[in-house]
C-alpha cells in the first residue's frame, strides 16, 4: 500500500491512484457520478469504531484487488455520511473536545513534525530517513528538535489548531516508502524507543503504553487556508 500514490486532478473532480505496473485509477470525488447500480453504503470499522462509507465503484474495487492480488478490496468515501466522534473513542476520547470528528484516520486529521526533530532522530540512525516515512500533514522549519511537543495551540493565517495528543508510532514507520519493504531491525522504532517514550508516571501512559512518540496530532478549531511557507504562531502552556 505504501507504493500507491494518490493525487488530485487539475479540475479537482477526480482522485487519481497510481501504483507500479498499474494503470492510473480515476475515481470521481462526487459519488453521484458513479454508476447508479453501484452506489451503496459500505459498513466498516476503524480501530473498533463503526463507520460507514460510500462505495467508490467496481472499477476501484477491481483495481485494488488486482494490485493486492486478493479479491474484495473496496475504496470508500465518507462523503456526507456520519463521521466518527473523537470524544466517543474508547482510548483517546478524553483528549478531544466537543465537535472533534474523524473519518478514517486513527486519531486526528492533522499531524505535525519539525525538520529539526527528524534531524535529531537521523543523527541516531545508521541509515537516515526522509519525512515521507512518517507522513505528516505539516512539516515545520526554524525550530529546535521536538519544540512542537510543547505547542498547545497554533494559528496559521486564520486557521486555529489545537494539540490533542502526541503521535504514537507503529510498524508502518518501518516500511520504506520508496520500496514498500519493511526494515529488518524495525527501525526507526527501535531507536525511538530509547528516548521518545511516554514517562511512566504520565496520566497518558495508558494511551501510549510502550509506543514511541514522534509528531503531534492536532485538532481543528477554526478552518481556513494554509500555504507552504506560512508563519506559525504557537501558544505554549
Q: What DSSP designation does 197 have?
A: B
What CA–CA distance (Å, rounded) separates 143 from 141?
A: 6
Which pLDDT score, from 0 to 100, does residue 91 have? Answer: 85
**Integer CA distances (angstroms), 233 to 152, 160, 226, in order:** 11, 10, 13
User: Which residues are CB-contacts of 71 (< 8 A; sequence separation ≥ 6)?
Assistant: 65
The whole-number pLDDT of residue 72 equals 95
Q: Would you state the cell numbers that stand for residue 49, as one nine-digit string?
A: 469504531
Q: What stretches in the chain show pLDDT beneath 50?
A: none
User: Is the pTM value of this prediction over 0.75?
Assistant: yes
**Cα–Cα distance between 164 and 104 in angstroms, integer?**
17
Instruction: Summarize pLDDT for 37-60 with one digit per residue, the tens.
Output: 999 999 999 988 899 999 999 999
φ/ψ bin of 152: left (φ > 0), alpha (ψ from -120 to 50), beta (otherwise): alpha
Amino acid at each position: 500500500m505504501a507504493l500507491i500514490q494518490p493525487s488530485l486532478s487539475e479540475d479537482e473532480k477526480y482522485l487519481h491512484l497510481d501504483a507500479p505496473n498499474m494503470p492510473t485509477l480515476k475515481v470521481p470525488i462526487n459519488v453521484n457520478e458513479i454508476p447508479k447500480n453501484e452506489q451503496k453504503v459500505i459498513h466498516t470499522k476503524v480501530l473498533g469504531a463503526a463507520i460507514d462509507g460510500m462505495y467508490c465503484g467496481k472499477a476501484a474495487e477491481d483495481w485494488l484487488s488486482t494490485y493486492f492480488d486478493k479479491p474484495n478490496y473496496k475504496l470508500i468515501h465518507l462523503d456526507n455520511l456520519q463521521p466518527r466522534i473523537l470524544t466517543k473513542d474508547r482510548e483517546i476520547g478524553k483528549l478531544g473536545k466537543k465537535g472533534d470528528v474523524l473519518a478514517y484516520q486513527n486519531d486526528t486529521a492533522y499531524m505535525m513534525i519539525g525538520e529539526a526533530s527528524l534531524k535529531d532522530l537521523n543523527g541516531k540512525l545508521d541509515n537516515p530517513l526522509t519525512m515521507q516515512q512518517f507522513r505528516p500533514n505539516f512539516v515545520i522549519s526554524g525550530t529546535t528538535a521536538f519544540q512542537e511537543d510543547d505547542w498547545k495551540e497554533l494559528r496559521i493565517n486564520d486557521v486555529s489548531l489545537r494539540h490533542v495528543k502526541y503521535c504514537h508510532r507503529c510498524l508502518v514507520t518501518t516500511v520504506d516508502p520508496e520500496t514498500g519493504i519493511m526494515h529488518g531491525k524495525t527501525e526507526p522504532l527501535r531507536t525511538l524507543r530509547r528516548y521518545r517514550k511516554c514517562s511512566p508516571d504520565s496520566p497518558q501512559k495508558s494511551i501510549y503504553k510502550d509506543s514511541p512518540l514522534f509528531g503531534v496530532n492536532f485538532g481543528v478549531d477554526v478552518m481556513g487556508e494554509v500555504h507552504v511557507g506560512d508563519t506559525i504562531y504557537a501558544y505554549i502552556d
